[in-house]
């Protein structure tokens, strides 16, 4: 039964007009609802434990609002019914007082009224009022009714003058009572719910008691037929309840058998040493729980006792499993903590654009990840997904970067090839400065075109250098001018080389080396000047040495100027 059905049923009971006869229905509905909630909460507990086993979170369904709504209606029903019962009791007590007054009045008529007509009119009034008076307390009904019936019989026996009327009433009462017996026989064979049949029986019995007397000679047989039929109806009720008791007992026995199996499983728990074995035992427990749910209810008292026993042994099993899982989980958590550190480092590296070094570092992290071991079902998949995602961020960015760069490098290669062809086919102008300016423009254009694919960078550089060297070689340059122009051209070429950093540094080193050599030579020459005496021959040598020192100084100054032209990269 769904929770909404319980809500609808208790609401229907609570909104009924006559609640007194529904007390048992409400109590049974409450018991069914409580049993349903207990089972539902147990199922939620099992689901939560299962989710915990697989490393996921399970949000348990909260039945509190539904229980509160149900018991609010149930409380309202009980309060309304209590008021109706109290009102009914008050009315029945008042009715009892009225009937006792009528009994006393009837007794007074029998004992004191001498006029038959007046007595009969008094009787009619009393009887009409008697019929109008409602129910009285059930424990008083039989005695009051018997006393009233006894007085009626005395009254009618005493009123000889109305013999014919009395006989008519007897016959009519007999017909009504025979009709009651007929209805009771039909009730015995009718296919009605037991509660409805019991309500009909009570109504027919009340109706029987309210019918007046019959002829004495007919009364015994009529009474015997009535009670025989009533007993038959009660036998039918007893058969139903006996069958129900048998079914309830069978259900309890079946549940006790499941408890025995559960106990047997728990006795083997201490021998379980692996997660696989625990999974197998868990399947057995869950199978027993499924079998439990398929068994119907037992008697209310026993049903709760066996359920608590079953639940206790289930809790014992899952607590033992939980303790086992804690030990495994601690190891998994240790591995998970290591992998979380790797994830944090991978996330930090994922933003790097140092493609080579970061690639190497991420590969090392992946090896460490593998060496760390497995973090268990609860952590492993989620952590791996997070780690792999961080690595993918970097490698996808790297792939996108180099794809864009490769496309640009290819375009640069084509542009440089076209520029080389343009240099090769270029006709130098007669004006030397114009030619030098044009060559510098070619060089700047080549440098600005950017990188080319790695496999082509050396060849395209050498081709361009060759074409430029040929053009510079055709210029008619002399002395310092030639050296300066050719050095600047050389620097321009070095700047466009794919290995420019090394070549420029090498050029610096070479110039510094030359400066060092010239400086040492100059110092040696200056030192030698001190050895020359003042004479014509010495003066000539001194002049020669001064000339060489001056040349060395000039040369050093030229080299320093070249050094300044080399960029610091």
Residue 496 near residue 461 (C-beta atoms within 8 A): yes
In the chain, % helix, strand, coil (3-state, to 5) comes to 85, 0, 15
CA angle 500, 503, 504 (to 5 degrees): 80
Exposed/middle/buried for residue 100 (C-beta within 10 Å: 0-12, 13-18, 19+): middle
CA gap 436, 473 in Å, rounded: 11
Question: Which element (helix H / strand E) includes 326?
Answer: helix 300-349
CA gap 206, 286 in Å, rounded: 54
Task: Give the model's pLDDT for residue 494.
Answer: 63
Residue 8 near residue 15 (C-beta atoms within 8 A): no
DSSP conformation class of 475: S
> Token digits for 500?
């420019």
Exposure on the CB side of residue 143, measured as CA atoms within 13 A: 6
Residue 19, classed as helix, strand or coil, is coil
DSSP conformation class of 428: P
Task: Give the model's pLDDT for residue 536.
Answer: 56
Integer-rounded Cα Rg, in Å, for the chain is: 58
Task: Give the model's pLDDT for residue 381.
Answer: 83
Task: Give the model's pLDDT for residue 180.
Answer: 85
DSSP conformation class of 531: T
Q: How far is CA 12 from CA 7, 21, 26, 36, 87, in A?
A: 8, 14, 10, 19, 21
CA gap 189, 185 in Å, rounded: 7
CA gap 257, 243 in Å, rounded: 21
Task: Give the model's pLDDT for residue 530.
Answer: 62
Q: How far is CA 113 from CA 116, 147, 152, 157, 356, in A?
A: 7, 19, 14, 14, 129
Per residue of the chain (569 residues), give pLDDT as tens. Answer: 566 788 788 778 778 877 777 888 888 888 888 888 888 888 888 888 888 888 788 777 877 888 888 888 888 888 888 887 888 888 888 888 888 898 888 888 887 877 767 877 888 888 888 888 888 888 888 888 888 888 888 877 776 655 666 677 778 887 888 888 888 888 777 777 877 887 887 888 888 888 888 778 878 888 888 888 888 878 777 776 676 677 777 777 787 776 777 776 777 666 666 667 767 768 777 787 778 677 776 666 677 777 777 687 778 767 776 766 666 666 777 777 777 887 887 778 777 878 778 888 878 878 877 887 776 676 778 878 887 887 887 777 877 776 666 667 788 878 878 878 887 888 888 787 787 788 778 777 877 777 778 778 778 777 877 887 777 777 766 555 555 666 666 666 666 666 667 776 776 787 788 888 878 777 777 776 666 555 556 666 777 777 777 777 777 777 777 677 677 75
Residue 429, classed as helix, strand or coil, is coil
Give Cα 508 distance to the centre of its chain.
Answer: 69
Exposure on the CB side of residue 135, measured as CA atoms within 13 A: 13
CA gap 48, 234 in Å, rounded: 49
Question: Which element (helix H / strand E) includes 26?
Answer: helix 23-53
Nearest to 564 by CA among 450, 487, 456, 480: 487
CA gap 204, 230 in Å, rounded: 10
Q: How far is CA 313 from CA 40, 276, 285, in A?
A: 18, 21, 10
Please name the residue that has the structure tokens 């933003």.
Answer: 351
Task: Give the model's pLDDT for residue 32.
Answer: 85
> Token digits for 183?
């209805």
Residue 115 near residue 159 (C-beta atoms within 8 A): no
The residues near 286 (Cβ < 8 Å, ≥ 6 apart) are 46
Residue 92 near residue 135 (C-beta atoms within 8 A): yes
Nearest to 218 by CA among 181, 170, 160, 176: 170
CA angle 289, 293, 299 (to 5 degrees): 120
> Token digits for 102?
């009528």
CA gap 515, 512 in Å, rounded: 5
Residue 283 near residue 265 (C-beta atoms within 8 A): no
Residue 181 near residue 229 (C-beta atoms within 8 A): yes
CA gap 243, 7 in Å, rounded: 29
The residues near 192 (Cβ < 8 Å, ≥ 6 apart) are 200
Neighbours of 414 (CB within 10 A): 12
């Amino acid at each position: 039964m769904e929770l909404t059905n319980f809500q609808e049923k208790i609401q229907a009971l609570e909104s009924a007009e006559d609640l007194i006869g529904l007390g048992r229905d409400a109590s049974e509905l409450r018991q069914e609802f409580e049993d349903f909630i207990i089972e539902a909460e147990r199922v939620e507990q099992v689901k939560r434990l299962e989710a915990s086993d697989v490393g996921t979170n399970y949000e348990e369904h909260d039945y509190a609002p539904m229980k509160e709504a149900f018991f609010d209606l149930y409380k309202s029903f009980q309060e309304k019914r209590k008021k109706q019962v109290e009102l009914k009791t008050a009315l029945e007590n008042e009715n009892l007082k009225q009937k006792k007054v009528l009994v006393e009045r009837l007794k007074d008529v029998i004992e004191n009224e001498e006029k038959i007509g007046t007595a009969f009119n008094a009787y009619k009034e009393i009887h009409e009022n008697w019929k109008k008076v409602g129910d009285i307390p059930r424990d008083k009904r039989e005695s009051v009714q018997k006393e009233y019936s006894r007085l009626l019989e005395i009254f009618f026996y005493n009123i000889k003058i109305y013999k014919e009327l009395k006989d008519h009433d007897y016959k009519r009462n007999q017909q009504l009572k025979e009709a009651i017996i007929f209805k009771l026989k039909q009730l015995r064979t009718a296919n009605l719910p037991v509660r409805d049949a019991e309500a009909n029986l009570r109504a027919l019995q009340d109706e029987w008691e309210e019918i007046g007397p019959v002829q004495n000679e007919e009364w015994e047989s009529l009474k015997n037929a009535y009670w025989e039929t009533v007993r038959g109806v009660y036998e039918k009720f007893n058969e139903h309840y006996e069958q129900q008791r048998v079914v309830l007992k069978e259900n309890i026995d079946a549940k006790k058998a499941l408890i025995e199996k559960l106990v047997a499983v728990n006795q083997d728990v201490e021998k379980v040493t692996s997660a696989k074995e625990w999974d197998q035992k868990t399947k057995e427990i869950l199978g027993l729980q499924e079998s439990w749910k398929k068994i119907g209810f037992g008697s209310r008292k026993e049903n709760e006792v066996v359920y608590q026993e079953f639940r206790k042994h289930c809790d014992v099993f899952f607590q033992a499993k939980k303790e086992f899982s804690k030990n495994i989980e601690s190891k998994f958590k240790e591995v998970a903590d290591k992998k979380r550190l790797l994830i944090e480092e991978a996330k930090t590296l994922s933003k790097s654009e140092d493609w080579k070094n970061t690639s190497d570092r991420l590969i090392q992290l992946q090896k460490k990840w593998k060496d760390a071991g497995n973090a268990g079902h609860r952590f492993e998949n989620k952590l791996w997904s997070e780690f792999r995602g961080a690595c993918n961020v970097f490698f996808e960015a790297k792939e996108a970067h180099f794809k864009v760069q490769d496309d640009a490098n290819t375009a640069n290669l084509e542009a440089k090839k076209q520029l080389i062809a343009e240099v090769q086919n270029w006709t130098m102008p007669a004006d030397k400065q114009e030619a030098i300016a044009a060559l510098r423009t070619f060089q700047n254009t080549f440098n600005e075109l950017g990188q080319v694919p790695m496999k082509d960078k050396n060849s395209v550089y050498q081709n361009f250098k060759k074409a430029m060297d040929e053009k510079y070689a055709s210029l008619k340059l002399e002395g310092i001018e030639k050296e300066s122009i050719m050095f600047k051209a050389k620097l321009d070429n070095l700047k466009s080389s794919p290995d420019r950093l090394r070549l420029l540094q090498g050029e610096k080193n070479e110039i510094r080396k030359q400066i060092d050599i010239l400086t040492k030579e100059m110092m040696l020459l200056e030192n030698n000047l001190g050895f020359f005496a003042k004479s014509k021959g010495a003066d000539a040598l001194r002049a020669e040495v001064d000339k060489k020192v001056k040349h060395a100084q000039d040369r050093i100054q030229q080299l320093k100027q070249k050094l300044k032209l080399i960029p610091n990269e």
